[in-house]
Amino acid sequence: MPLISSAKKRKLITELAQMLQQRPGPLRLFAKFPLVKQLSRFYIAGEKMSDAIRVAKEMRAEGKMVTIDHLGEETKRPIQAEEDAAVYKKLIQAISKEELVDHADLSLKLTQVGLNTGEGFCVEKLTEVLELAQERRVTVWVDMEGSKYTEGTIKIIEALRPRFPNLRGVIQAMMKSSNSHVARLLKLGATIRLCKGAYKEPPDIAYQHRAGDIRANFLKIVDKQLFPSKIYHGIATHDEFIIKETIKLAKKHKLTEKDFEFQMLYGVKKELQDELIKLKYQLRLYVPFGEDWLPYFLRRVSENPDIAEDFTHDLIERLHTEHNIDLHWLHPHFKHRE
């Protein structure tokens, strides 16, 4: 018998992660534990830009592309938005100088570059980043945040995409409005990253079941909107069912492995990543870096109880294979998982 049941363990991890996110004191203390910092490195490149560039080179050696994200929470201070935009400009220069343009691009959140300060200010900051990115041939993905920012984000992409073909958008399949937002981005000829969505949203505006209605809407968008458009898109998921179905849909729409890319989070489901590379599919990993790493790390664990379960499984496997620490006794079920 396992010491702790699987459901209890998931609940414990989720509650611990949620509790820590709400308490800045213990959060800061938690971040100082060497083990926590070490564990976060499975999912986060490191605190410095040079860490992200190093990971980009390591991933290139494995045949994987990356999109680099500078970690940062929503900011309401214009000076912080200026600083974040400056970091992204430095990142563009680093990608260009290190000759990584064909393998690395960047992902940013509009609230990092001033969306909370005002739409005009945000457009100004984003334009500065896009101008430099276009000059250096670097692509920019605008991440999609919680529902209060969805319309604002789409509107800003609509305003800037005609001038910047290097601008790409993200759509969350969990949102009931996703089909119409996809249609608006396709009208611009824009490349779309389709993901399930990482934010908790109410049932009147969002589907709730990740392996049910969200999965169904995801595949419907791929089949009815993304693949018929013949535009290059990103399919961002670790859901093996969606990945298998996407491969079937690509065949149905007569697309080759080069006509779209899969996307996953750095450090998640490495075996699945390697399998896709072996099958000659294109894969881009989301690689975050920065000092503000703990909220991102805890969100990955707490937002989805399934992630908490997989996180524990991954952790136990990696501690065993990479550090020779055997924690399989915690739950014998882990021994038999794929």
Give yes or no: 168 in active site: no
Angle, helices 240-252 vs 270-278, to 10°: value is: 20
Residue 210 is a binding residue for ligand FAD (CB under 6 A):
yes
Residue 135 is a binding residue for ligand FAD (CB under 6 A):
no
Give yes or no: 326 in active site: no
**Of these, 20, 56, 255, 265, which contacts ligand FAD (CB under 6 A)?**
265
**Of these, 198, 247, 315, 330, which contacts ligand FAD (CB under 6 A)?**
198
Residue 225 is a binding residue for ligand FAD (CB under 6 A):
no
Q: What is the smallest separation between the CB atom of 297 and ligand FAD, expressed in angstroms?
A: 9
Residue 197 is a binding residue for ligand FAD (CB under 6 A):
yes
Between residues 80 and 178, which has the closer beta carbon with respect to ligand FAD? 178
201: its two tokens: 């949203």
The DSSP letter of residue 224 is: I
Residue 195 is a binding residue for ligand FAD (CB under 6 A):
yes
Catalytic one among 10, 193, 210, 284? Answer: 193
Q: What is the smallest separation between the CB atom of 143 and ligand FAD, expressed in angstroms?
A: 3
Residues in a beta bridge with 142: 108, 169
- The answer to whether residues 151 and 191 touch, using CB atoms and an 8 Å cutoff, is no
Q: Report the 10 Å Cβ neighbour count for 252.
A: 10
Give the closest residue to 55 by CA, choosing from 280, 299, 286, 273.
286
The DSSP letter of residue 115 is: T
Distance CA 109, CA 116 (A): 11
- The answer to whether residues 166 and 136 touch, using CB atoms and an 8 Å cutoff, is no
Q: Report the 10 Å Cβ neighbour count for 93.
A: 14
End-to-end CA distance of the chain: 20
Q: What is the smallest separation between the CB atom of 159 and ligand FAD, expressed in angstroms?
A: 19
DSSP for 72-109 reads ------HHHHHHHHHHHHHHHHHHHHTT-TTTEEEEE-
| Per-residue contact string for residues 137-176; x = within reach of ligand FAD by CB under 6 A | ------xx-------------------------x-x----
The greatest distance separating any two alpha carbons of the chain, rounded to the nearest whole angstrom, comes to: 61
Catalytic one among 105, 143, 239, 314? Answer: 143
Q: What is the smallest separation between the CB atom of 25 and ligand FAD, expressed in angstroms?
A: 26
Residue 263 is a binding residue for ligand FAD (CB under 6 A):
yes
Looking up tokens 């991954």 gives: 314
Q: What is the smallest separation between the CB atom of 254 and ligand FAD, expressed in angstroms?
A: 25
| Options 22-30, 95-103, 161-169, 190-198: segment touching ligand FAD (CB under 6 A) | 190-198
Q: How many residues does the chain have?
A: 338
**Of these, 40, 304, 312, 316, which contacts ligand FAD (CB under 6 A)?**
304
Between residues 193 and 331, which has the closer beta carbon with respect to ligand FAD? 193
**Of these, 216, 306, 325, 335, which contacts ligand FAD (CB under 6 A)?**
306
- The answer to whether residues 243 and 272 touch, using CB atoms and an 8 Å cutoff, is yes
| Options 121-129, 148-156, 231-239, 324-332: segment touching ligand FAD (CB under 6 A) | 231-239
92: its two tokens: 């563009």
| Options 154-162, 183-191, 194-202, 220-228: segment touching ligand FAD (CB under 6 A) | 194-202
Distance CA 72, CA 291 (A): 8
Which positions are annotated as active-site residues? Answer: 143, 193
Residues that bind ligand FAD (CB under 6 A): 143-144, 170, 172, 193, 195-199, 210, 236-239, 263-265, 268, 286, 300, 304, 306-307, 310-311, 314
